[in-house]
Amino acid sequence: MAGTFVNPYTFVPFPDAPPNRARPHGHAGRSELLSGTLKVTIHTETGVLIRGFGTEETPDVPRRADGTPFIPGSSLKGALRSLHETITGGCLRVFDSDFVPGYRDSVTVNTTRGLRMAIVAEHVSEDVPPTLLVCPDEDDPPTLHHDLLVRAAGGGPPLRSGERLAVTFTRGRPDAAYRDDEGEWVVFISDAKVRDAAGGRKRNYRAQLRRYPVGAVARAVPDEVWQDFLHAVDGADDLRTAQLAKRNPDDVFADVTFQGRVIGQRHYASRRLHEGQPVWVRLDSDGEIESLRLSMIWRHPGSVSAGERVDPGFHACREWESLCPSCQVFGSADTEGKDTPKARQNSYRGHVRFSDAVLVKRAKSKKKKGGAGKDSAIATLKLAPLGTPKPGSGQFYLVNDERVRGNAGTPPLREWGSAADLPRPRRLRGRKHYWHTELGSSPQTYRAKARPHHSSELTTDVAFLRKGNTFSATLVFTDLDEIQLGGLLAALQPSTLLGEEKVWQHIGGGKPFGFGACTLTIDPSGSDVWRTGARYGVSCPPAKLDVEALIGQFREWMERHCPEVVQTWPLLAKALKPDTVKADKVWYPPGDSSSSPAQASEAFDTGFAFWQQTSGTEYQKKNGKRRGNPLMALPDLADDDQELPIIDKADECDLPNQQRLPGNPRGGRR
């Protein structure tokens, strides 16, 4: 990679004006509107990954009763709608406006001073804050060595966090511990891996001991403290999709291993606390709980929600009589009301329906046949870990102007709610798109295939539809006008709209690894269009499916009524072209510039140094110099150069003589 890489995703910026909303045509069958069918051919340019079929031991692709592979119509509709929203400047249909990220506390700046252990007295549900019993304050609280933890189990099941113990001391240090339901002490056991990482060197594991709060009065956690906790816990590793899939959802405890043996059990991080579970709190001067965490080195919430970081005009449509262009065609659901009479009245049924895309031509066989049943259309792979998106990485997901780039502060400028959000909160960068890359088998295998150093808990066996397959689907539309039909055709065949010979679309999952690139074409000979009234004998002007003419009408209408959206189309074309970036450069931040994707060592796959050194963290050294890690932003889609440097090892540097951003003490969520 020659010391640089290209991040797998980029952002098409939001247009300067929110979507034009209007009353939809409805479903009364107005005679002048258009209805019909479109025959769509789909060609896979890379492998297409549709998960959730077969079993964990024997994964498979979607198949019809006769065994023919297909792409579900729901996958087609989701992909087409997403592109249509970008083309028309539609609302953010799938968007959590209340989202606020959580961040791990930095070991270098975090202090545990003032933390008190507390025991959960009662917790009914995640919708209601728990009540806690706060342990007595300790001037010099004892800890329990991992060997004593094992011996305290007495040959029985591993000791669990929250169990009560009888402890004996010699010269103020614990020398023995025993299970005792009435014991004076309660033990807190955390993940040993976190302890190993603290300070950057291996340490003997020690569990925390505190006196059990006998006779204490339960204290309620204030609602605002509980909401901050929920925002923070959502980013915990235990709640990652891949981790949740590996365990029973009813499991409460996880084994804690140290030096190759189980030394105890900790509570899984969860939005639901359990009676007897030890947690950590801080009290204000009045003795009220002002913060809650699951461990001493924990997480804290950012501030300013996602909904506050975009123009409110882009929020999802809620009223059926005022819908954006995409909701007028694909439909709108009032998800806030869920399944209530109010929600049903505000929802709107779409005008398009998709059949499944059935395989009609298999990819050419390879000499080494592989995959499910040696079908040339199918291949299998042990997939490398695929994490959830991290919108809290503000250096990538937020707009950072020149005042912020290369600067640093405390808390780090990457954080939502840091000084970089003053005087106005930074905006979200736009709609996320993954780069298309012309992948041969090797680069895709390097990116997607699990490596020996990957944990088996995070890897999965998958089956996918190979590159070179051809599928056929039918799309049925009813009661659209010419402009709406032109927009639908433009989303199916964006090359015609964007004036680019070669653009690809994404279908299915695994997009960070290069899966899902497809080209769609409309077959006029297998398609048909008519005026809706013609079905009922109404005299109507003739209708003709002229794809280029209809897309042209849509383009002209958008240029007149939505010029701000049209200005984003060249950037969209850049994101959809397969040759914008080099395939062998695309990787999540690597950690070893001397290695390569072909080698894909553990050091190469570890990007911690990059995220640490680009976070915009400031701190002072003894000599008084301003030191830290200046914020490095993701290149704008408009930039010619999309490459970023590979950072081998995080190391603080002297910050440039740039305007120091104002301090921003965190005062809770805004």
Spatial distance between the Cα atoms of 253 and 160, rounded to a whole number of angstroms = 8
Helices (H), 499-626: 547-561, 563-566, 569-576, 602-605, 608-613
287: buried, middle or exposed (CB in 10 Å: 19+, 13-18, 0-12)? exposed
Interior CA angle at 495 toward 492 and 496, to 5°? 85
30 vs 33, 173, 272, 315, CA distance in Å? 6, 84, 52, 30
Average pLDDT over residues 608-635: 84
Are the C-beta atoms of 431 and 575 separated by less than 8 Å? no
CB burial string 637-656: b at 16+ within 10 A, e below: beeeebbbebbbebebeebe
Q: Render 185-217 in DSSP notation, one character per residue.
A: EEEE---HHHHHHGGGS----EEEEEE--TTPP
Q: Do 73 and 473 touch, CB atoms closer than 8 A?
A: yes
Model confidence over 307-356: pLDDT tens digits? 999 999 999 998 999 999 999 999 998 766 555 665 557 889 999 999 99
Instruction: Count Cβ atoms below 10 Å from residue 151 Cβ, excluding itself.
Output: 15
Q: Tens digit of pLDDT for each residue in 473-498?
A: 999 999 999 999 999 999 999 999 99
Read off the pLDDT of residues 547-574 as tens digits, 9 standing for 90 and up: 999 999 999 999 999 999 999 999 999 9
The DSSP H or E segment spanning 397 is helix 394-397
Contact 135, 211 (CB under 8 A): yes
Predicted pLDDT of residue 241: 63
Q: What is the DSSP string of 590-649?
A: -S-TTS-TTT--HHHH--HHHHHHTS-EEEE-TT--EEEE---PPPPTT-S--EEE--SS
CB 501 within 8 A of CB 493: no
pLDDT at position 372 is 47
The DSSP code sequence of 482-496 is HHHHHHHHHHH-HHH
Check residue 304 and give its pLDDT: 94
pLDDT digits (tens, 9 = 90+) for 630-660: 999 999 999 999 999 999 876 666 666 556 6
Task: Give the length of the chain.
Answer: 670
Give the separation between CA 188 and CA 28, rounded to whole angstroms: 64
In this prediction, residue 669 has a pLDDT band, given cuts at 50, 70 and 90, of very low
Confidence check: pLDDT of 379 > 50: yes
Closest by Cα among 357, 358, 354, 348 to 476: 354
pLDDT of residue 250: 84
Q: How many other CB atoms sit within 10 Å of the CB of residue 522?
A: 17
How many angstroms separate the CA atoms of 605 and 277, rounded?
A: 35
Instruction: Give the chain's end-to-end CA distance (angstroms, integer).
Output: 42
Tell me 22's DSSP state: B
Residue 668 is predicted with a pLDDT of 38
DSSP 307-328: GGGS-GGGSPP--TTSB-HHHH
> Measured between alpha carbons, how far is 221 from 130 in angstroms, rounded to an integer?
6
According to the model, what pLDDT value does residue 371 have?
45
- Per-residue pLDDT tens over the stretch 565-608: 999 999 999 999 998 998 888 988 888 877 776 666 888 888 88
pTM for the full predicted model: 0.84
pLDDT band with cut points at 50, 70 and 90 for residue 367: low
The sign of the CA dihedral 187, 190, 193, 199 is negative
| Rounded Cα distance, 394 and 413, in Å | 7
* β-strand pairing of 59-60 with 53-54: antiparallel
> Looking at residue 259, what is its pLDDT?
87
The packing angle between helices 482-492 and 547-561, to 10°, is: 110
What mean pLDDT is predicted for residues 55-74? 94
